[in-house]
């Protein structure tokens, strides 16, 4: 295998202690050919003082001129990078030691793949692994366990997952800490976009998918920190701008390449894509129930009815909720994802994955 440079990009904001742990997880990588680029939106100098103490020349720190926001800081980090591969790491997340090694190997051996992805464990503020309940009732051992066994995911299948969900697998990973981008794919796609709001990472992956395959590694390669005051937890507690899901979906469906992939059953694909948006929009209704906020509940219903004109989709929503409760009580029994140090096993043929 060649030894291409990997750029690890860490946009940060007022979390110096988590940033220290994130950088340490980078420096512990078994793959040595990388640079760490930190772009700092912080309103104080704590991270600046910490960065001054790092002597490893692979770590490069840049204080932004003012707060560029998450999107601006991420785009600046990309512009400062020179790696053939780009690995984002959120400033409160961690990488497993073999993360770069395995993701670089996957992309080197699969030149049609623009993104490598892997499942993520969940950790608390002390780095302890946790198994929280998402959506009120489903215990999560991992996030983004896409399939059992490693494998190349062709662009039609990955688009199917992004647009209409996957029948036999989890959603494709879009959390930046769980991905590695081929630099060519990311730079050709252009910058992250402000209008994508909280779903900027999803929007970028959907932009890349029509042109590139994805590669899935069935090993836990990163840790996603979940805290009660964190951004993700706040979104699920207070509600999302759910119109974003419909906007991103329609933008993807407008791509002629996407229409070509699904030309044999285009009307069904459009209907199923809007239904999937409506299923995700129901998260807002759940947040409204927890908060006893009728405005949020009725706003969610109003948005679904406005954005999705298919009556059959409205009738299917109760079935979706029932199915989610059922698989939460009786989850499918699958071999676990590999943990650090375990040898790879390919179960793909047994489960019928392509």
Whether residues 150 and 200 share a domain: the answer is: yes
Number of domains composing the chain: 2
CA angle 256, 261, 266 (to 5 degrees): 80
Q: Which candidate, 272, 257, 176, 165, places its Cα nearest to that of 222?
A: 176
Distance in Å from the first CA to the final CA of the chain? 26
Range of the domain at 315: 239-329
Tens digit of pLDDT for each residue in 82-95? 999 999 999 999 99
Q: What integer pLDDT is reported at residue 32 of this predicted model?
A: 95
What whole-number distance in Å separates Cα of residue 62 and Cα of residue 39? 5
**337 with 150: CB under 8 angstroms?**
no
Whether residues 174 and 305 share a domain: the answer is: no
Which of the four pLDDT bands, split at 50, 70 and 90, describes residue 331? confident
Q: Which of 179-188, 268-277, 334-343 has the lowest mean pLDDT?
A: 334-343
CATH number at residue 213: 3.90.550.10
Q: Is 55 helix (H, G, I), strand (E, B) or coil?
A: coil
Whether residues 210 and 268 share a domain: the answer is: no
Whether residues 91 and 209 share a domain: the answer is: yes
Place of tokens 């080197």: 108
Tens digit of pLDDT for each residue in 114-147? 999 999 999 999 999 999 876 556 778 889 999 9
Whether residues 229 and 277 share a domain: the answer is: no
Whether residues 97 and 199 share a domain: the answer is: yes
Tens digit of pLDDT for each residue in 171-213? 899 999 999 999 999 999 999 999 998 899 999 999 999 999 9
At residue 150, φ and ψ (nearest 5 deg) are -70, 160
What whole-number distance in Å separates Cα of residue 61 and Cα of residue 40? 8
**185 with 208: CB under 8 angstroms?**
yes
Whether residues 247 and 318 share a domain: the answer is: yes
Q: Which candidate, 55, 65, 57, 53, places its Cα nearest to that of 37?
A: 57
């Amino acid at each position: 295998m060649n030894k291409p440079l990997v750029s690890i990009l860490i946009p940060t904001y007022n979390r110096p202690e988590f940033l220290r742990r994130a950088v340490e997880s980078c420096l512990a990588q078994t793959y040595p050919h990388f640079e760490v680029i930190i772009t700092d939106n912080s309103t104080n100098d704590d991270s600046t003082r910490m960065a001054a103490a790092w002597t490893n020349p692979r770590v490069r720190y840049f204080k932004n001129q003012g707060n560029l926001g998450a999107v601006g800081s991420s785009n600046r980090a990309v512009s400062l990078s020179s790696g053939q591969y780009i690995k984002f790491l959120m400033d409160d997340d961690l990488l497993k030691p073999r993360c770069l090694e395995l993701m670089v190997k996957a992309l080197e051996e699969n030149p049609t793949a623009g993104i490598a992805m892997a499942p993520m464990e969940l950790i608390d503020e002390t780095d302890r692994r946790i198994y929280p309940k998402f959506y009120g009732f489903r215990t999560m051992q991992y996030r983004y366990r896409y399939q059992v066994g490693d494998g190349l995911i062709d662009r039609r299948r990955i688009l199917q997952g992004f647009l209409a969900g996957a029948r036999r697998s989890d959603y494709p990973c879009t959390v930046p800490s769980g991905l590695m981008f081929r630099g060519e794919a990311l730079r050709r796609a252009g910058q992250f976009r402000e209008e994508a709001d909280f779903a900027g990472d999803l929007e970028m992956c959907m932009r890349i998918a029509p042109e590139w395959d994805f590669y899935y590694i069935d090993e836990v390669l990163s840790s996603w920190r979940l805290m009660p005051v964190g951004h993700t937890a706040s979104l699920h507690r207070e509600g999302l701008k759910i119109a974003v899901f419909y906007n991103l979906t329609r933008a993807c469906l407008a791509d002629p390449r996407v229409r070509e992939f699904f030309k044999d059953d285009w009307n069904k694909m459009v209907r199923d894509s809007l239904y999937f948006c409506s299923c995700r929009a129901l998260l807002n209704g759940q947040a409204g129930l927890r908060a006893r906020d009728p405005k949020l509940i009725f706003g969610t219903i109003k948005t679904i009815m406005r954005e999705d004109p298919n009556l059959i989709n409205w009738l299917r929503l109760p079935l979706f909720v029932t199915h989610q409760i059922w698989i939460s009580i009786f989850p499918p029994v699958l071999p676990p994802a590999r943990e650090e140090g375990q040898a790879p096993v390919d179960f793909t043929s047994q489960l019928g994955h392509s």
